[in-house]
Structure 1
Amino acid sequence: MGSAKEKVVIIPTVLSMVVLIVLLSLLLYFSVHRKRTLKREMESSFILSGAPMSFTYRNLQIRTCNFTQLLGTGEFGSVYKGSLRDGTLVAVKKLDRVLPHGEKEFITEVNTIGSMHHMNLVCLCGYCSEGSHRLLVYEFMKNGSLDKWIFPSYQGRDRLLDWTTHLNIAIATAQGIAYFHEQCRDRIIHCDIKPENILVDENFCPKVSDFGLAKLMGREHSHVVTMVKSTRGYLAPEWVSNRPIAVKADIYSYGMLILEIIGGWRNLDMSFGAEDFFYLGWAYKVH
């Protein structure tokens, strides 16, 4: 009799616990599934959403196959090809030289750059700020950098562009530079305008990239003193004399870029003679 009463008590208790465990398991499953779905939706729509998305370092390791597909290397780090869950290709820049400010300042700067939207600027899609790791996630540009298309030393004359495309690239690049000079809330000096920092998409629409050297300044300031060094051959005279740098320094670099687009050879080429290795000096002489 006692055994029967115990069974009456135990069986409903066990069944209740089983039902509760099943319900909790289902709740956990749907919660995890929902989070993953939301994450996929965020990743697939981040380009349209505006603010850069935050990634974990582990996630970017997975998305870049552990940083094995190298696209290029610059002064501040290396760029790797990656893809998001929905197959969207991205370029992940792994910063080797971390700037001497904290995580909060880094994220603030990233959000400032990420708020800039223009058809002639490379879109900053996301970032990683985890421990000592600092990474930037950009949209992927199929045709790479402009230097591969204006200098004949890469893959011969067959790869070079026609003059109409050259003109369109020059105009569109100027529009991108004018945007972050004059149309942003915080004026930005790029400080390193050169063919390697002009990327072209599959339709040869140019986009200014690599704001690793960029310096922000308020609109009330027309000049900014900076210790960042630009690339030789594109340096405005004020760089050499250590004078305050203004947006005109970018205009000078852009002018050197135009000379290279027109001439088809680098403005600083040591293979030429002592009088002609610097393009600007040569152009002035023949003019």
Structure 2
Amino acid sequence: MIFSELSLIEKETGLKYDPETATLSGVKNGVPVVVFDNDKKHRFDIVCGAVITERQFGRIYIMAERFPKKTMLGIENVDGCVNIYCKGYNLMQENLPLLIEFLEKLTAYLKSEMRKTTPIQVAKVLELEDYAILTKHIRSDGTVRPPYNIRGTVKGILGGLLGLLIGCAIFVVFIMMSDLVGWLGGIIMSAAVISLYTVFSKKLKTVDCIMTAILTFAGWALSNGFAYLFQIFLKEQEAGNTVNINGILADLTNYSMKYTEIAGNLMNRLIVTFIFVVAGAIGSYIFYYKHHTKDMY
């Protein structure tokens, strides 16, 4: 038995809910229709057994204008049926009346425009996974837009770099305060990179996870490295020597041998902060996927 919000609109739609498959199916306005609560993909998949042309998709999009923003994911013709994909999260509970209204308008429109009806195989509906409309976007002129959102990734990288700068500054301050709280700075830095990347890109897919991981670990290396150089700089200042960071870098081997205690602390801190940078990154990913995956198609 599967509970779905679709079971709440069985009477209003005139369709029958099947608790074994989480589908609402039947014939509405003379058109076979199946609505599938595709929980695995966080969608409501609507399949109508009607043959229409892609030129008529625009009217269906207009019918869905009252849906919450970005609810409609796409429409396509598959095996003589019209497949419509919506964000399930956006159509639950208080927005179910909009789904009822949409199904009424949709089936009435298809009845008036379709060439013929097509039987729907519920088994095929239950197998809906990935689909063409999410890997390619068809423009109104029929041409295909590139599937990959390069602009979103570029914006994400810029946001990630901003998060890296802010996060590194906080991380270094925590390291300089005490090695004991340095790990907390690692978590903050990880969260800053991932959160700002996501805010700028408005997506978090495989390529974005790779880019945020690269930026996060770059921040880990830069923060620990800068803290190490700055600690040597402070030691030299205390000794009354005039030196700058570039000078330390130019003669890093000798300075490392001179301040073996700082070098030893660096190795310990690298390991400890690495663990908590990884923990911070994993925690941030879990948070963003849990709260935003449904909005990131």
Rg comparison, structure with higher value: 2
The alignment's TM-score, normalised by the length of structure 2, stands at 0.23
The alignment's TM-score, normalised by the length of structure 1, stands at 0.23
With a CA cutoff of 8 Å and minimum separation of 6, indicate the structure with the bigger relative contact order. Answer: 2
Higher helix share: 2
